[in-house]
């Protein structure tokens, strides 16, 4: 099985490393600065589940002789259009496209761009980041992935990919309802990113603030209302888990979006919080906390763009 991975940051680098270690034929398509890092030092992953260091195939554009079974899109949402240009250039006649982005809006983008190509749904759980030195750092003691077809119908390529990823010692499962799984994470992540970015603090710190727990749960309830209107409300067991994680006293848990802010990088604010708010407005659901969270993030994004223009 051949796998094309667009991006060798946190998620793409981690999954790619596991597949390479298991003997899979993997090609990364990356920007020039990242390609130079990989050429000089190889792909390096530091993880509580096992480190990896080794040479990998990394190119600036897909090789014409490499026809992948699966093309993984592992980029930030704001880089999606460029990533899909790469996929379009590198895919073969039977390639499955597997986006591993947060949120759900990108599925509509892929359906419009590739109406006749099998597109899988997927998501990962676990905090990963690409450090300035080029190392993929795994920040949580767990990592898991879920993959599935949008319809839930069997797909031999998806099944084989999951089997190979499992053989590479990755906690992965094939889902019969991947859209619901993605919505579950979307509800949690919009709340988690929204509140930690708005407060510029970890969950534990927010819980120490006056009204911190109430504000967090109000934001979660707003996201739940949107998912219910869209027909994808998480089950009560999932919601209980989200409430527990989002209100845990002393938790040092922070979102990747907050880490992007603190590093001065662009965020996925529009793709996550913005998309949730747009859906709320379509259903005429009042979401005051979502409005505040998005306005806050938009101000940050405007500042980043201004700084980039003036450098």
Active site residues: 185
Which phi-psi region, left, alpha or beta, contains residue 129 (left: φ > 0; alpha: ψ -120 to 50)?
Answer: beta
Backbone angles phi, psi at 99, to 5 degrees: -80, 135
Calculate the CA 68 to chain-centre distance: 21
**Cα 150 from chain centroid (whole Å):** 17
Q: How is residue 288 written in tokens?
A: 């005051």
To 10 degrees, what angle do helices 178-199 and 212-230 make?
150
Cα 163 to Cα 171: distance, rounded to the nearest angstrom: 11
Element (H, E) at 146: strand 144-149
Contact 94, 161 (CB under 8 A): no
251 contacts 81 by C-beta, under 8 angstroms: no
């Amino acid at each position: 099985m051949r796998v094309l991975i667009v991006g060798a940051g946190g998620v793409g680098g981690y999954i790619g490393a596991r597949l390479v270690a298991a003997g899979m034929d993997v090609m990364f398509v990356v920007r020039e600065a990242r390609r130079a890092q990989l050429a000089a030092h190889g792909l390096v992953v530091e993880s509580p589940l096992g480190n990896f260091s080794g040479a990998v195939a990394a190119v600036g554009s897909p090789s014409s002789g490499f026809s992948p079974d699966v093309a993984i899109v592992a980029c930030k949402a704001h880089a999606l259009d460029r990533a899909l240009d790469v996929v379009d250039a590198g895919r073969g006649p039977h390639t499955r496209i597997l986006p591993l982005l947060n949120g759900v809006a990108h599925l509509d983008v892929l359906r419009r761009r590739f109406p006749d190509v099998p597109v899988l749904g997927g998501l990962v759980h676990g905090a990963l980041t690409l450090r300035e030195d080029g190392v993929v750092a795994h920040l949580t003691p767990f990592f898991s992935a879920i993959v599935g077809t949008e319809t839930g119908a069997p797909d031999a390529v998806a099944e084989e990919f999951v089997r190979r990823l499992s053989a590479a010692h990755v906690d992965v499962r094939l889902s019969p309802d991947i859209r619901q799984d993605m919505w579950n994470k979307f509800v949690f992540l919009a709340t988690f990113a929204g509140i930690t970015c708005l407060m510029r603090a970890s969950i534990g710190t927010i819980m120490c603030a006056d009204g911190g727990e109430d504000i967090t749960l109000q934001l979660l309830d707003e996201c739940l209302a949107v998912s219910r209107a869209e027909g994808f409300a998480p089950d009560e067991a999932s919601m209980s888990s989200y409430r527990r994680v989002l209100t845990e006293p002393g938790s040092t848990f922070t979102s990747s979006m907050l880490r992007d802010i603190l590093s001065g990088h662009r965020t996925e604010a529009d793709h996550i919080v913005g998309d949730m708010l747009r859906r709320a407005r379509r259903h005429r659901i009042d979401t005051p906390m979502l409005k505040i969270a998005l306005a806050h993030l938009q101000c940050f994004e405007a500042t980043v763009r201004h700084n980039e223009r003036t450098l």
